[in-house]
Structure 1
Amino acid sequence: MGKSSNQKLKLLYLLKMLNEKTDEDNTMTINDMIAELDRYGITAERKSIYDDLEALRHYGLDIASRKSKTTDYFVASRLFELPELKLLVDAVQCSKFVTHKKSNELIKKIESLASHQQAQSLHRQVYVSNRVKTINESIYYNVDSIHEAIAENKKVSFKYFDFDIKKEKVFRKKGDKYIVSPYALSWDDENYYLVTFSTKYNDFTHYRVDRMSEIELIEEQRDPLPDKEHFDIAEYTKKVFNMFGGEEVMVQLQFDNSLVNAVIDRFGKEIMIGKSDDDNFTIWIKVAVSSTFFAWLSQFGNKVKVRSPQTVVNQYKNCLMEIFSVYED
């Protein structure tokens, strides 16, 4: 490309260099800009640079200047501030459902939103030793397809698989496709779940998105919800994903005072807490009683006790006895 053609790109190259090379700690002088433009085969005079900087300010770029022995220029603020970019990098690196490959691709794109020097500081973000990442590379696009289906009120089809002891995929239904009505995506316990509704069974079902493959939108409208006005996806996911299925029962639980943080983390700050005695507190909560609920309780050992109803007390005792029986000679 000749110099005459390059001259037409002068403003764009100036925008590029300011975004990439400057921030509050890294600045450029007018002479620096002229020298950098020369690398692109563009000649520039000081006055034209001043005019270009003013044009970029009118465009919306926050260009600040600082005087010392020279006048230094830099981009003072961006769409994303550095602490926000660090949070995004942390979220990507810590997300189990994003593969290593896709994590690296996303982080490089996030780094492009900062100056080169700031991007270096993003490398120091959270690194979790031996982090388990999903191995389903298509999950990134599955999520996008599901959002599209929900927005267009369409059903989706997909194959669903588990892993066998050889760590190989085994498709359910002998590889036949599921056809479902998608209503929501829930991110729980580091996994994405698709929440669907079936008119045939008049109930909701959920699927792990990272275990779905060959997902497609189909030209068929979703099964309508029986009572849209009263369907609360947040309440549904809180109930089902926190304790995974089972009959809903109001239970009374007694915890050691040291477990108040764990209870609030699980059930939220709105949970009603009552004093049982100096060492324990009690809560009443409606939960879907299941083996997963009991597994959550058992991690606290003798610091938790099911107080009522007696049916749930008996179920929990039986669950513990079944575990104990595995270790009997």
Structure 2
Amino acid sequence: MERIDNKDRLLMLRDIFEAETDEENELSIDDIIEKFKAIYGSEIKLNKNSLKDDIDHLIENNFDVTINQVKEGLPKYYSHQYRLFELYELRMLIDAVVSARFITKEETKQLIRKIKKLTSKPQAKMLQNEILIDSSVKSESHLVRVAINDLHHAIAERRIVTFQYGRYDLDKEFVLSHGGDDYRVKPLALTWTNDFYYLIAYFFKAEEIRHYRIDRLRNVQLTEETFPYDPFDVTKYVQSTFHMFAGSEEWIKVKFQNHLINVMIDKFGKDVSIQKVDNDHFVLTTKARLSSGLVSWLLNWGGQAEVLSPASLVDTIKEEIKRMQEIYKI
């Protein structure tokens, strides 16, 4: 009969515990022997005492093995219950991957398979994702993962980056902006906002901070040129933008109906300036980037929001409302 090398047997025993057992799935020594035979063939020779010694060795080396015995004389059952991730955490990871538009459909499937390997096979079956992978809203660019990796390196090493940037036209063809000219930037941070990854960077030509959808980058190149460290508050920048539209930053005041208080706290955080006006309204004061994204966001609330300042933003809102009235013949 064929025997297994002691080291191979120990490693395989650990693999069996990780793949086949959890809080609800235990194995007896006889069950473990059957698992070995399913892998190595029915002619394999295993000694129960050797397997028990292996289990003790795993425990002594801080590998979690839970031993369950109902009463003396009855068989013992063994399981590996400790996992780096709880089941609900793995569900959240899978849902995030499925929902992320910048990840292609094939990459989504690959990542889900890998995440499922972080738990036992029985629990992995419970991780069937209920969110449909909609290929119509998934990125078609397989360059995203490469760009993300390169840009992380560029930020860590403070290296200037060049790339081309583009958008889809009415024929759904991807067209490079500015005739395909390179953008030369100082990369500051990567952020995942509104289902997409963005590069926040200082654009040398315009002498200002801008952000770029990573799935729209092409030919990303790390140069040998470096730049000095400069602190940058990513959270503050993202909070001041609306739908990731760039613009000049100014203080704004907006009067909202009281029932929108939680929406504003979700957007700006609990530290945002809120002042009660009357029993029905409050005024929010914050810094924001004046842009078409901000205008669209404000108009989204209709009569539930009134811009108080700055005057330029009030005028822009009025002009947009007039354009809408003309379109709908009001």
Q: Pick one of 42, 50, 54 that aligns with 2:56.
A: 54
Q: CA deviation at 1:240?
A: 3.3
Q: Pick one of 69, 77, 92 that aligns with 1:72.
A: 77
Match of 1:78, SS state, is coil
Computed over aligned residues only, the root mean square deviation of the Cα atoms, in angstroms, reads 2.3
The 10-residue stretch of structure 1 (172-181 or 285-294) with the greater mean CA deviation from structure 2 = 172-181
Match of 1:108, SS state, is helix
Aligned to 2:23: 24
Give the TM-score taking structure 2 as reference length.
0.90
Contact 2:23–2:81 (CA<8 Å) still a contact in 1? yes
Q: CA deviation at 1:243?
A: 6.2
Aligned to 1:211: 216
Where do 1:104-123 residues align within 5 Å? 104-123=109-128
CA deviation map 1:186-211 (0-9, x unaligned):
11111111111245543212111011
Q: Distance in 2 between matches of 1:275 and 1:87?
A: 37
Q: Distance in 2 between matches of 1:242 and 1:285?
A: 16
- Compared CA separation, residues 86 and 131, structure 1 to 2 (3 A): farther
The 10-residue stretch of structure 1 (61-70 or 305-314) with the greater mean CA deviation from structure 2 = 305-314
Match of 2:140, SS state, is coil
Contact 1:180–1:197 (CA<8 Å) still a contact in 2? yes
Is the aligned partner of 1:168 residue 2:137? Answer: no
- Compared CA separation, residues 284 and 241, structure 1 to 2 (3 A): closer
Q: Distance in 2 between matches of 1:147 and 1:129?
A: 28
Q: Distance in 2 between matches of 1:16 and 1:71?
A: 19
Q: Distance in 1 between matches of 2:146 and 2:130?
A: 26
Query: Residue 37 of structure 1 aligns to which amino acid in structure 2?
Result: F
Identity %: 34
Q: Distance in 1 between matches of 2:255 and 2:244?
A: 18
Aligned to 1:37: 36
Q: CA deviation at 1:6?
A: 5.1
Q: Distance in 2 between matches of 1:22 and 1:243?
A: 46
Q: CA deviation at 1:130?
A: 7.4
Q: CA deviation at 1:71?
A: 1.0
Match of 1:263, SS state, is helix
Q: Distance in 2 between matches of 1:177 and 1:247?
A: 24
Is the aligned partner of 1:244 residue 2:249? Answer: no
Q: Distance in 1 between matches of 2:51 and 2:3?
A: 17
Contact 1:186–1:193 (CA<8 Å) still a contact in 2? yes
Q: CA deviation at 1:31?
A: 0.9
Aligned to 1:303: 304
Q: Distance in 2 between matches of 1:130 and 1:100?
A: 6
CA deviation map 1:239-289 (0-9, x unaligned):
235663333322221111121122112211111222212111111222222
Q: CA deviation at 1:173?
A: 2.8
Contact 1:243–1:288 (CA<8 Å) still a contact in 2? no
- Compared CA separation, residues 164 and 202, structure 1 to 2 (3 A): closer
Query: Residue 45 of structure 2 aligns to which amino acid in structure 1?
Result: T
Match of 1:238, SS state, is helix
Contact 1:92–1:98 (CA<8 Å) still a contact in 2? yes
Contact 2:33–2:46 (CA<8 Å) still a contact in 1? yes
Match of 1:215, SS state, is strand
Find runs of 4+ consecutive structure 1 residues off by over 4 angstroms: 4-8, 128-131
Q: Pick one of 107, 128, 140 that aligns with 2:145.
A: 140
CA deviation map 1:42-76 (0-9, x unaligned):
42211101110111122322100111342110002
Query: Residue 153 of structure 1 aligns to which amino acid in structure 2?
Result: R
- Compared CA separation, residues 164 and 309, structure 1 to 2 (3 A): closer
- Compared CA separation, residues 258 and 202, structure 1 to 2 (3 A): same
Contact 2:184–2:205 (CA<8 Å) still a contact in 1? no
Q: Distance in 1 between matches of 2:316 and 2:163?
A: 36
Q: Pick one of 191, 195, 209 that aligns with 1:186.
A: 191
Q: Distance in 1 between matches of 2:3 and 2:162?
A: 55
Contact 1:37–1:43 (CA<8 Å) still a contact in 2? no
Contact 2:254–2:307 (CA<8 Å) still a contact in 1? yes
Match of 1:76, SS state, is coil
Match of 1:38, SS state, is helix
Ranges in structure 2 where 5+ consecutive residues have no aligned partner: none
Q: Distance in 2 between matches of 1:32 and 1:243?
A: 56
Aligned to 2:281: 280
Query: Residue 29 of structure 1 aligns to which amino acid in structure 2?
Result: S
CA deviation map 1:204-254 (0-9, x unaligned):
1211101112323222224x47xx35x423222322356633333222211
Query: Residue 74 of structure 1 aligns to which amino acid in structure 2?
Result: S
Q: Distance in 2 between matches of 1:200 and 1:129?
A: 38
Match of 1:77, SS state, is coil
